Structure 1
Amino acid sequence: MGWVDRKLIRTSVAGMAALAGVAMAGGAMAQSVVVRSTGPTAAAYPQGKKLPANATVVLKGGDQVTVLDKAGTRVLAGPGTFTLNGAVNRDGGGATALASMMARGGGARTRTGAVRGAGAAPVVVAPTAPENVWHIDVSKGGTYCVADPAALVLWRPDKTLDGTGTLLSQDGSTSEVSWRAGNPLKVWPSATVPVVDGQTYTFSSPVGAPVKIRTMVLGTVPTDEVEIAGAMAEKGCTAQLDLLANLASATQAGG
């Protein structure tokens, strides 16, 4: 075999490897992540399961599987067979809502709902959960992935009055957390209670029972929403996956 032949072989192998890489990248971009699963077949599609492009989901009656992909989130309801090929007819609203919820540093928005009746003015509907997936709900707690410990935000559901609470870490560090009326957000007091990977904290307030908050710090935060959800699933950040599942229900109910 001559030098030219060997060069051609090396070029062909390199070209095939490049094409394989492009194909794998395309598959990764097209995959879906299960963010909620209930019903008889739930064990086959557990929360956090990654599904490849063109995967077929077979559901029985009573099954509901919520998946997240590049087009947003959607609920698959059984019985039925569904192919996750991205061909589902969805407008850009789902993807826009998903991008807004997963944006780092995103602030809370005020939702308004139309009141039926002529001349009726819109009424303010208070959010029942954080509108940003990186915000921690102090009324429920749970396991949360953290993108930036220095910018971690605590969210409360009722912002009508001033509010206070106490954050206690398992090593004994403690800090008071105070909200002003009208503001649901408060930066985590990392100067006195550092955010530690894998650590559990207790948040207590005059309203409601104390809750446990576990923080899982992400060393690298993916830029792709599907990959972010996958990373959350691997870390066991079920509180955030639940938020994404709720987004799917809200989007489909509104559409």
Structure 2
Amino acid sequence: MFSARKMAARLLLAGSFAASLGLTAVSAQAQSVIVRSTGPSATVYPQGKKLAVNAKVTLKAGDKLTVLDKAGTRVLSGPGSFTLDGSVSRDAGAATRVASAISANGVRTRTGAVRGASLTPRTGSASGPDSVWYIDVSKGGAYCVANPSSLVLWRPNRSEEAAAKLTPVGGKPVAIEWKKGNPLKLWPSAALPVVEGGRYIFSDPVGPSVTLTLHLLASVPTDDLAVAGLLADKGCTAQLDVFANAATPAVGS
């Protein structure tokens, strides 16, 4: 009898623990991630910060937050107070762009090009890459890598040919060359293997040198909010800018 009661108590305790884990998982799925933050409250609401479901955000004049939650991207402009409950209608186009950004992952073809990139050369500059998984060489910091064999370097100015160097910390530099009109270049993995925690210095004649730190992901979620949360956890905040660029600006939306 004692054993039966003891077993029942253990089962009840296990059930309660499982239920609490379930609630935690639901809560985690429902949270919001700040993918861009500007203005006087940027230190209070920094890029990469996670906010609980139904969290209240109070912004000052000049503040602007781009937040990703289960309903999509939302741009909040101060002054004002907002509740992150996912009830506000979002731009369907932005949701499509975000979904495309997290799935785009260039792969090598026989010609050495990047599959999925535009075949028509374009000129001028762009505000940011259209894939979360591209490394923006104009920004330093941590970058999360979904597929080491198809890692892509992206440059903002594609109007001319360009030459640069990628140097592992303590190692020898490797030349990087872009063709006119092409913003993309495959990482030179044969000369510079992509490794967890690897640190590389990117330098070119037109801008300051930046240090890139790579983090390899064992698996990649398919949900955009889960991807943003993973990037935030790893400190890969530069990649969160891609989510913000995909959002449609809407004052106080």
TM-score (norm 1): 0.79
Tell me if the contact between 2:124 and 2:158 (Cα under 8 Å) persists in the aligned partners.
no
The Cα of 1:13 is off from its aligned counterpart by 2.4
User: For residue 149 of structure 2, what is the aligned residue in structure 1?
Assistant: 150
In the TM superposition, what whole-angstrom CA distance separates every residue of 1:146-166 from its partner, at most 9, and x where no partner exists? Answer: 223332101233445544333
Q: 1:146 to 1:182 in 2, by over 3 A?
A: same
In the other structure, the counterpart of 2:111 is none
Cα distance in 2, alignment partners of residues 174 and 190 from structure 1 = 13
Deviation at 1:96, TM superposition (A): 2.1
Using the TM superposition, give the Cα deviation of residue 62 of structure 1 relative to its aligned residue in structure 2, in angstroms: 2.2
- Secondary structure at 1:202's aligned position in 2? strand
Q: Provide the secondary structure at the position in 2 that maps to 1:176.
A: strand
Find 1:220's aligned residue among 211, 218, 228.
Answer: 218
* Counterpart in the other structure of 2:63: 63
- Report the Cα offset of residue 199 of structure 1: 0.8
8 Å Cα contact 1:129-1:157 kept in structure 2: yes
What is the correspondence of 1:14-25 to structure 2 with a 5 Å cutoff? Answer: 14-25=14-25
Letter matched to residue 243 of structure 1: V
2:201 matched to which residue of 1?
201
Query: What is the Cα deviation at residue 126 of structure 1?
Result: 6.4
Q: CA deviation at 1:64?
A: 1.5
Q: Secondary structure at the match of 1:252?
A: coil
- Counterpart of 1:179 in structure 2: which amino acid? W
- Compute the TM-score of the two structures, normalised by the length of structure 2: 0.79
CA separation in 2, counterparts of 1:55 and 1:13?
30
Aligned-partner residue type, residue 67 of structure 1: V
- 1:201-222: CA deviations, max 9, x gaps? 12315xx224314122134344
**Partner residue, 1:211:** 209
Task: Specify the alignment match of 2:109 in structure 1.
Answer: none
Q: Does 1:95 align with 2:92?
A: no
RMSD: 2.9
| Runs (5+) with no aligned partner, structure 2 | 107-115
Write out per-residue CA displacement over residues 136-177 of structure 1, whole angstroms, 9 at most, x where no aligned residue. Answer: 223x13122222333210123344554433322332322222
Deviation at residue 54 of structure 1 after TM alignment: 1.4
Q: How does 1:131-210 map to 2 (within 5 A)?
A: 131-138=130-137, 140-143=138-141, 144-159=143-158, 162-196=161-195, 197-205=197-205, 208-210=206-208
C-alpha separation between the residues in 1 aligned to 2:72 and 2:44?
22
> Counterparts of 1:16 and 1:94 in 2: how far apart (Å)?
39
Residue identity matched to 2:23: A
User: Retained in 2: the 8 A contact 1:63–1:78?
Assistant: yes
Cα deviations across residues 67-89 of structure 1 (Å, max 9, x unaligned)?
Answer: 12233322111222211111111
Alpha-carbon shift at residue 247 of structure 1 (Å) = 2.4
Per-residue CA distance 1:194-246 (angstroms, 9 max, x = gap) = 334241312315xx224314122134344043333233333332321233223
Match of residue 252 from structure 1: 249
Equivalence for 1:117: none
CA distance change for structure 1 residues 15 and 211 in 2, over 3 Å: closer, same or farther? same
Q: Which has the higher contact order (CA 8 A, sep 6+)?
A: 2
Q: Mapping of 1:38-49 within 5 angstroms?
A: 38-49=38-49
CA contact (8 A) 2:144 2:217 kept: no
**Is contact 1:108–1:131 with CA below 8 Å preserved after alignment?**
no
Corresponding residue number in structure 2 for 1:116: none
Distance 2:241 2:9 in 1: 51
Contact map agreement 1:50 1:230 (CA 8 A) in 2: yes
The 1:71/1:93 distance shift into structure 2, 3 A limit, reads farther
Aligned amino acid, residue 135 of structure 1: Y
Cα offset, 1:135, TM superposition: 0.8
